[in-house]
Amino acid sequence: MFTTRIMKGMAFLAVVCSGITPATARKTTITLPPSAPFPESLTASETGVLYTGSMTHGGIARATPGSSEAEIWLQPGVFDTRSIFGVLADDARELLWVCSNDASVWALKGRTMFQGSLSKVST
């Protein structure tokens, strides 16, 4: 009797699972704007919006679901941001966390356009 119940249960699961097919993701390419080179970090919200930050220029680019091109969502320097080293979508709090620091000292020669930022001067 126990074996019969197991066999019936397995037959039921086989029927139920036969209609399940694996989900397949389609390949999508998203082009970043020329003003947002060298993306450092990528995050996605629950709604499928992608966010990335630019290490060299700062700012945040955003791509909405189904789009093939990202747009500048936050301009470089907004909220005193500099080089973007990380982004994290926090859906529970409806926030986008951004890690920013000034990396212009690594390669930029001369003054930067942001007040208070450091610059490397070649002699």
> DSSP letters of 44-110?
E-TT--EEEEETTT--EEEE-TT-SB-EEEE-TTGGG--EEEEEEEETTTTEEEEEEE--GGGT-BS
| C-beta separation of 37 from 62 below 8 A | no
Token pair for 57: 């220029």
Task: Look at residue 90 and tell me whether its pLDDT is greater than 80.
Answer: yes
**Considering only CA atoms, which of 66, 65, 61, 67 is closest in space to residue 32?**
61
Amino acid 10: pLDDT: 63
Amino acid 106: pLDDT: 60
Task: Look at residue 9 and tell me whether its pLDDT is greater than 90.
Answer: no
Mean of pLDDT values over 73-94: 89
Domains and their CATH numbers in the chain: 29-105 (2.40.10.500)
Average pLDDT, the chain: 76
- Render pLDDT for 44-71 as a digit per residue (tens, 0 to 9): 999 999 999 988 888 899 999 999 999 9
Q: How far is CA 8 from the centre of its chain?
A: 47
- CA 98 to each of CA 67, 68, 108, 110: distance values in angstroms, whole numbers, following the listed order: 23, 23, 22, 26
Task: Look at residue 31 and tell me whether its pLDDT is greater than 70.
Answer: yes
